Amino acid sequence: MTVTAETGEGPRTRNGARHDESGTGRRVWHPGWVDVCAYDALLPERGAVALVSGVQVALFRMYDGHVHAISNRDPFSGAYVLSRGIVGTRGERPIVASPMHKQAFDLLSGECGDDPAVRVDVFDVRVRAGRVEVYIPRGELAGSGEISEPVTEPGANVGTAPGADVGTEPA
Amino acid sequence: MSDHDAHLDIHVDTHLADHRDDHVADPSAGTAGAGRRRRLVVVGHGMVGQRLVEAIRERDREGRWAVTVLGEEPRPAYDRVALTSYLTGTTADELSLVPDEHDGEGDDDCVVRTGDPVVAIDRSARCVTTASGVVVEYDALVLATGSAPFVPPIPGADLDGCFVYRTIDDLDAIRDRAATARTGAVVGGGLLGLEAANALRSLGLDTHVVEFAPRLMPAQVDAGGGEMLRRRIEQLGLTVHADTATERIEASGSDPHDPSGPGLRMVFSDGAAIEVGMVVFSAGIRARDELARACDLDVGERGGVVVDESCRTSDPHIWAIGECARVDGTIYGLVAPGYDMAEVVADQLLGGAAVFSGADTSTKLKLLGVDVASFGDAHATTPGSLEVVYADPVAGVYKKLVVTDDASTMLGGLLVGDASSFAALRTMVGEPLPDTPEQVLMVGPAPSGLDDAAQVCSCQNVSAGTIRSAIGDDGCCDVASVKACTKAGTVCGSCVPLIKTLLAQSGVETSKALCEHFDLSRAELFDVIRVTGQRTFTEIISSHGQGRGCDICKPAVASILASLGSGHILDGEQAALQDTNDHFLANLQRNGTYSVVPRVPGGELTPEKLIVIGEVARDFGLYMKITGGQRIDMFGARVEQLPAIWRRLVDAGFESGHAYGKALRTVKSCVGSTWCRYGVQDSTSLAIMLELRYRGLRSPHKIKAGVSGCARECAEARSKDFGIIASEQGWNLYVGGNGGFNPRHAQLFASNLDTDELVRLIDRFLMFYIRTADRLQRTSAWLEGLDDEHGDGLAYLHRVIVDDDLGICADLDAAVATHVASYTDEWAAVLEDEEKLSRFVSFVNAPDVPDPSIQFVTERDQIRPAGGTESGSLPEGVLGGVADGVPDGVAGGPGPVPVSGPTLEVVRR
């Protein structure tokens, strides 16, 4: 997994992702730490999902206060539902069980405990000033292939739905 | 039947000449070059006859024998040991011992001809003739004609209303008669008599047992055991007349308890008399040896075809097995020796030299919920033998060991009321006692001492060694797999506890621990939570578990808390315990959308409400389907749409249908006597009342119910966890049915109840189930578990929720009353609670943006998930950038073309 943090100083969108207004009707999304929500918006021991640049990131606030972030896509069913799973522990490891067919995914490694050949992407996540931020890397991710190059997008598709200033899609 | 005839053409009407080329020429008739096919004719298609056929077919790889079975009964062999279960829900098909592919069809190796008894044997021509005139030749003839019930020569024993108890047809006749009778008597207090008494009781009759001997089960138990048995059985409401001879039976005007029915008067030799609606004779058996007598085979003085240790009769071409055979002076009325004989004959027919060396006549019965077991020399007939007796009249337990005069060797024993140690004790007969007799009697022997040769299952003759090897070598890890692998425990089931012990000793964990976080079983956890009053997961897991839980224990605790009435299921910490279905109060579907099912009690729906459902489905673009529970399911709702959908439904008077919960789902009903010309009770009103009473009741698994207004059973109540079928006299309650992967018919629990009695029983049944079942255990499996633990699960249930043996009925009643009083609609409560409503969002950072991965196509004018059905997963490309409802992610691929994005036109109020 190659991670390249962009350092450009474009204007911030409402959700914190940086954009370049190039004047061409396109805007460029720069990967990096993205503000997604208030920490208090996450319920203890329950998941939520954030839409970040077309990527669905499942967030879990654990009993001890830690927040984990993995891809929301259940690789077994293909449905975007992992955020709705029950969180818990297997041994010392924090896990979420897919709500679809109960396979458990390690929230630290993304590995599926029931089928080691399967894993989901794990995102870095941090809490700053009461806000949850997710690190969206640039480049290919190993697991579900959700993210390829985070990119540009025809302006026509941007921001047509309330709060949807995240309007990118995979190239 | 025509198939039979066609096959029989091969066999019939040929004479001794070598017509066998017919068989060899038949390309399907076994291995070429196997030599001439010999003809085996089996007379009688009962359990033993079938066992012989199975043994031959299993071992006769070269197809040496063509088998013809000629049976008297109109149906192929069935499980006569389990006959009584036919009256409590088991169907004739379920009792059948013949796999479907052989049922009625036959094949070239085996022809089964039912309903056509053999009427003559011509030993010189080596052929038999059936009632319909078919002549079948044999090279070997096996008589497996079984026995007939013994009807004592009492005047009036042939009156209308007198029955015997042996076949499914007998039971049909008994059931018909019982429908118009309130009381019944069984003549015979032995093993079979008590079985028949159990049957009459299960049909709702006041039941008398009349036994000539001074005690019940005289062949198996001694005076002390008989007395204990009598007490236990009388506690169940039966009347026992021991030491009583029936002098005559007369027709009397009527059954005094039901003047509409015809009646009989039984007059005893002491002059006393009882009035009953029906009489069942079950006073022993007589071998069916008439065919053997007619062709001059040796028969015993007291009946039975005399055979030698190889089960051969006085004619070397003829064998006899099972209850019609007298071997070494004994007729065995048990299935296990019959099976042994079948194996012996099969072995000989295939060139072996097996012999029948006597049988273990140990018996264990669970009659009327009372365990009775005897083994070895139970009557202490061995000279000098000693009896060690333990009797506890309060608990109704009587145990006796018979040992040699120096108390060194076990000879036999008797157990009444608690036969849990039977399987282990029986294997010790003839062995040195491992401990003092008292110790062995009270504690039972340690099964680790079981020799590999010790017979664990006497019905199927399976040794401890065979079971150990099934566990060790074949990887069997539970009772079910051991049963499947070895057949042990598949007939009477009395050795199941011993199988469990052997499993445990082999290191197979049979832990009931809920999961890695709780060592307690669900039932134990339920009690702990109930008694401690702890109502948060944090409290519960920190005091009774470890870690922070998982997807197993969290929903289990959530369900327990809900069953105990702990407020809204999404209140506080409870919310985090819920499965996604309960968390969003809707049913997750394969593409991440949810379905919505409003409650339609009893399936009764006004046009106005039906229109509302239609309008909601139309306005939100949902797929609609009628469910099996007489309501309507709307599919394809996204999380953020659920509150708006429910706003409309709640405003129109609907409430949650709990289709998403492990809870009461529906009470299905027919229209009943209100409309139906056959209905005898108002099933719809009852169903609505029950559905409203138990709505929202959380349980270990889903609960379904049904109410039928007459015996035609249009509501399919017997496929439900609890089902009610109307009779002229009231309601009949059935429990423990389900559809699904392993369908089960519910069993009759109580008859002719009025509505109050019915509701009280259902209250207690449900609450007892909720408190004691395992997680995700349906009522049928729970009842099976009670069978394993207590002998007869239904009888145990009866003791708990009718007789109140555990003293918990008041508590169960109160728990249901609390539930009924505190019920509120979960969805209405969510709509009034901003905090709960705030969870119904698609994305935490974009609450109103529809999930772009959700795509639909249309099929038959309704939506369905795009891609999902065919591939089993959603295409990965479909996930972003469709915010304006113009999907483009999948347009290029093959397959259905999406016609709607996630933002279907929505009409909001």
Helix (H) or strand (E) holding B374: strand B370-376
* ipTM value greater than 0.90: no
Residue A116 falls inside a structural domain? yes
Asked whether the beta carbons of B482 and B467 are under 8 A apart, the reply is yes
pLDDT of B63 reads: 84
Would an 8 Å CB–CB cutoff place A67 in contact with chain B? no
Scanning B555-574 for CB atoms below 8 A from A yields 555, 573
- pLDDT greater than 80 at residue B234: yes
By Cβ distance, the residue of A15, A41, A161 closest to B883 is A161
Q: Could you tell me the pLDDT band of residue B544, with boundaries at 50, 70 and 90?
A: very high
Chain B contact probe: residue of A39, A81, A144 with most B CBs at under 10 A: A81
Would an 8 Å CB–CB cutoff place A73 in contact with chain B? yes
Pairing, β B703-708 against β B722-727: parallel
pLDDT of A32 reads: 78
- pLDDT greater than 60 at residue B467: yes
- pLDDT greater than 90 at residue B494: no
Give the distance from residue A44's alpha carbon to the nearest chain B alpha carbon, in angstroms: 7
Q: A88–B848: do the CB atoms touch at under 8 Å?
A: no
- pLDDT greater than 80 at residue B55: yes
Q: Residue B394's beta-bridge partner residues?
A: none
pLDDT of A143 reads: 39
Asked whether the beta carbons of A39 and A14 are under 8 A apart, the reply is no
Higher pLDDT, B788 or B628: B628
The CATH number covering residue A146 comes to 2.102.10.10
Q: Could you tell me the pLDDT band of residue B418, with boundaries at 50, 70 and 90?
A: confident
Higher pLDDT, B696 or B410: B696
* Residue ranges covered by each domain of chain B: 2-147+287-349, 162-283, 360-445, 446-510, 522-578, 664-822
Residue A2 falls inside a structural domain? no
- pLDDT greater than 80 at residue B165: yes
Higher pLDDT, B255 or B566: B566
Q: Note the CATH number of domain B446-510.
A: 1.10.10.1100
H helices, E strands: number in chain A: 0, 12
Question: pLDDT per residue over B528-538, tens digit each?
Answer: 999 898 999 99
Higher pLDDT, A122 or B488: A122
Which range among A43-47, B344-348, B645-649 has the greatest average pLDDT? B645-649
pLDDT of B420 reads: 74
Residue B238's nearest CA partner among B277, B209, B274, B267 is B209
pLDDT of B722 reads: 97
Instruction: Please provide the average confidence, as pLDDT, over all residues in chain B.
Output: 84
What's the CATH fold of domain B360-445?
Enolase-like; domain 1 (3.30.390)
Residue A126 falls inside a structural domain? yes
Asked whether the beta carbons of A75 and B872 are under 8 A apart, the reply is no
pLDDT of B35 reads: 58
By Cβ distance, the residue of A46, A49, A81 closest to B843 is A49
The answer to whether B714 is a known ligand-binding residue is: yes
Q: B881–A167: do the CB atoms touch at under 8 Å?
A: yes
Higher pLDDT, A90 or B683: B683
Q: Could you tell me the pLDDT band of residue B85, with boundaries at 50, 70 and 90?
A: confident
Query: Do the first three CATH levels of B2-147+287-349 and B162-283 match, i.e. the same topology?
Result: yes
- Residue whose pair of structure tokens reads 């405990």 in the numeric block: A113
Question: pLDDT per residue over B633-670, tens digit each?
Answer: 999 999 999 999 999 999 999 999 999 999 999 999 99
The answer to whether B127 is a known ligand-binding residue is: no
- pLDDT greater than 70 at residue B249: yes
Q: Note the CATH number of domain B2-147+287-349.
A: 3.50.50.60
The one-letter code for the residue type at B523 is A
By Cβ distance, the residue of A81, A87, A162 closest to B592 is A81
- Nearest-angstrom CA–CA distance, A34 and A37: 9
- pLDDT greater than 80 at residue B804: yes
Would an 8 Å CB–CB cutoff place B883 in contact with chain A? yes
- Least confident span in A51-60, A157-166, B446-455, B733-742: A157-166
Cα distance between the two ends of chain A: 18
Residue A164 falls inside a structural domain? no
What's the CATH fold of domain B664-822?
Sulfite Reductase Hemoprotein; domain 1 (3.30.413)
| Structural domains in chain A (count) | 1
Contacts of B845 in chain A (CB under 8 A): 15, 36-37, 50-52, 163, 166
Burial class (CB in 10 A: 0-12, 13-18, 19+), A8: exposed
Would an 8 Å CB–CB cutoff place A65 in contact with chain B? no
The answer to whether B550 is a known ligand-binding residue is: no
Residue A14's nearest CA partner among B235, B849, B354, B28 is B849
Residue A96 falls inside a structural domain? yes
The answer to whether B670 is a known ligand-binding residue is: yes
Pick the CATH number of B162-283 from 3.40.50.850, 3.40.50.720, 3.50.50.60, 3.30.70.3040: 3.50.50.60
- pLDDT greater than 60 at residue A54: yes
Burial class (CB in 10 A: 0-12, 13-18, 19+), B256: middle
Residue A166 falls inside a structural domain? no
Residue A148 falls inside a structural domain? yes
Residue A72 falls inside a structural domain? yes
By Cβ distance, the residue of A59, A104, A170 closest to B880 is A170
Range of the domain at A109: 18-154
- pLDDT greater than 50 at residue B4: no
Q: What percent of chain B has pLDDT over 90?
A: 49
